[in-house]
Structure 1
Amino acid sequence: MFDLLVRHPLGKCLLLGFCAAVLIFLMGPLLVIVPLSFNSEPYFTFPMAGVSVRWYQAFFESDNWRLALRNSVVVGSSVAFISVVLGTMAAIGLARLNPRLRRPLTAILLAPMILPLVISGLAIYFAYVRAGLTDSLFGLVLAHTMIASPFVVIAVTAALARFDETLMRAAASLGAGSFTAFLRVRLPLILPGILTGAIFAFVASFDDIVIALFVTSAEQRTLPRQMWSGVRENLDPTILAVATMLVALSALVTLSTAWLGARRQRQSFGPFA
């Protein structure tokens, strides 16, 4: 049915029109935010009185915004590193298990990604109150690692599914130890999957606001929490500049992920890709 629709000229036009409508629906708000971030007046209205970069300048000159940016980068980088280590080890361990045991353990590891963040945030808050980890960047890193590690597990598991285990046996037959074979053989081939997981782990931490609202205070506020405070307390146009930069970051992440996927595909097919 779908093939017949695509082959017919009218069906192809309808399909393209539907895709264009969905794209406009999804991207429409972004098309409003980006130009408004360059408005010279502190109003969220069209037409704009003039074009200016004053809100970007205000972002980099504000101590609160710079602190929030620094906290987000530090926390996101730490979460990405820890998640890569834990997620990669978990994925390699799961790949060696019996399928009957692998499935329930995989479901448990992926549960933080499936559960609503409000439930996770509430549970983490009560646990942190007893442990004394509230209002600390260390506690936020641990909480974000819990929700970011599943992304690494998924990405590395997908990379391991395409890995030929005979390469490890061949390396062992040539005298390579387990650690050397891992560094020289397995790691380079699954590296695109690890990098993809690291990117998603960083973004999951960088964009989170729910967990941050539960476990941090004003001193540890991240960029999303600072934006939330700005929207709730006063409509600061600097938020539009920050939102535009986050859109640019998301586009960069999307392009990077696509490049890593293409590279992984070339490695899978070798010279025939």
Structure 2
Amino acid sequence: MVFGFLMLPTLVVIPVSFSSSQYLQFPPPGFSLQWYQRYLGSPVWLQATFLSFKIAITTAALATVLGTMAAFGIVRGRYRGKMLVSTMLLAPLVIPTIIIAIGVYDWYSQLRLIGSWVGIAIAHTMLALPLVLTIVGAALRTLDPTLEQAALGLGANHLRVIWHITLALIQPAMVASALFAFVLSFDELIVAMFIGGVNMTLPKRMFDNIRVEIDPTIAPISTLLIVISCLMLYGVQHVTRAYRRNP
């Protein structure tokens, strides 16, 4: 019952996206692909979609690489101030996104990154980094150290051990982190509104669209976002199950 209560408002969007009505109406009076045709035939919507994909892919790559490096530094490092560094890296998890957006806007205004898709990707990386740090860090903590010690004992250098042993063992965690970072970036709105400028990501274009008028085109786009999120979650579960079957 609780699951249905939480999911029903979201799932209602799917049949509405196939409605033959000229307005958002549930239940739909009939079924039609008119709103999908309008979406796929609109250069404005497609441009926003491609931009969101570009930013999300860049964010996933940056966050996974930087977050994995940070996880190594936090879990394996022995230095003073490690707790402070860890707290600062995890701060975006608890700080309201709008506060981060305001700070990033002030910073970007000095660096002239307002209106740059690269700037949006960097800001999204800041938001996604704690997720990667948490997931990869947990994988590193549960890693059996004797495997690395055995490789070192057989003559492998540290770089070879990290590349062929450690990274191979935590690869499922890295893949899961990348998928979560992708979803976070693809769905993010607040930061994109503050620093996006003329660059319209898909959520920002949707927000600007419904602020002026309720365009039913947002229904198939919302369905697209739901499908992408579900596919990413399925990907995480698939990678996790595959790793458990063949560790």
Q: What TM-score, normalized by structure 2, do the two folds share?
A: 0.95
Distance 1:86 1:48 in 2: 46
Match in the other structure for 2:51: 71
Distance 1:131 1:100 in 2: 32
Match in the other structure for 1:262: 241
Match in the other structure for 2:215: 236
Equivalent positions of 1:20-39 (< 5 A) are 20=1, 22-39=2-19
Residue 16 of structure 2 contacts residue 219 of structure 2 at CA under 8 Å; is this kept in 1?
Answer: yes
**4+ residue stretches of structure 1 with deviation over 4 A?**
98-101
Distance 2:129 2:42 in 1: 33
Whichever structure has more helix as a proportion of its residues is 1
Alignment gaps of 5+ in structure 2: none
Equivalent positions of 1:197-236 (< 5 A) are 197-218=177-198, 220-236=199-215
Match 1:173 to one of 145, 153, 169: 153
Equivalent positions of 1:91-130 (< 5 A) are 91-98=71-78, 101-130=81-110
Equivalent positions of 1:180-195 (< 5 A) are 180-195=160-175
Distance 1:99 1:131 in 2: 32
Distance 1:119 1:187 in 2: 35
The one-letter amino acid of 2:226's match is: V
Match in the other structure for 2:69: 89
The one-letter amino acid of 2:179's match is: I
Distance 1:192 1:99 in 2: 28
Distance 1:87 1:63 in 2: 35
Distance 2:49 2:130 in 1: 25
Match in the other structure for 1:245: 224
The one-letter amino acid of 1:259's match is: H
Distance 2:144 2:233 in 1: 28
The one-letter amino acid of 2:234's match is: L
Task: Please state how far the C-alpha of 1:256 moved relative to its aligned partner.
Answer: 1.5
RMSD after superposition: 1.6
Kindly tell me: are residues 81 and 28 of structure 1, through their superposed partners in 2, closer, same or farther at Cα, counting changes over 3 Å? same
Q: Does 1:196 align with 2:170?
A: no
Task: Please state how far the C-alpha of 1:204 moved relative to its aligned partner.
Answer: 1.0
Alignment gaps of 5+ in structure 1: 1-19
Task: Please state how far the C-alpha of 1:259 moved relative to its aligned partner.
Answer: 2.0
Task: Please state how far the C-alpha of 1:99 moved relative to its aligned partner.
Answer: 9.1
Task: Please state how far the C-alpha of 1:250 moved relative to its aligned partner.
Answer: 1.5
| Partner SS state of residue 254, structure 1 | helix
Distance 1:255 1:229 in 2: 30
Match in the other structure for 1:49: 29
Task: Please state how far the C-alpha of 1:75 moved relative to its aligned partner.
Answer: 0.5
| Partner SS state of residue 151, structure 1 | helix
The one-letter amino acid of 1:247's match is: I
Distance 1:138 1:128 in 2: 11
Kindly tell me: are residues 246 and 161 of structure 1, through their superposed partners in 2, closer, same or farther at Cα, counting changes over 3 Å? same
Distance 1:77 1:114 in 2: 24
* Superimposed CA distance per residue, residues 96-150 of structure 1 (whole angstroms, 9 cap, x where no aligned partner): 1349744332211110122100000000001111111101111111111111111
Match in the other structure for 1:154: 134
Task: Please state how far the C-alpha of 1:224 moved relative to its aligned partner.
Answer: 0.4
Match 2:39 to one of 59, 63, 66: 59
Task: Please state how far the C-alpha of 1:248 moved relative to its aligned partner.
Answer: 1.2
Residue 23 of structure 2 contacts residue 215 of structure 2 at CA under 8 Å; is this kept in 1?
Answer: no
Distance 2:27 2:93 in 1: 41
Match in the other structure for 2:118: 138
Kindly tell me: are residues 80 and 31 of structure 1, through their superposed partners in 2, closer, same or farther at Cα, counting changes over 3 Å? closer
Kindly tell me: are residues 191 and 39 of structure 1, through their superposed partners in 2, closer, same or farther at Cα, counting changes over 3 Å? same
Task: Please state how far the C-alpha of 1:184 moved relative to its aligned partner.
Answer: 1.2
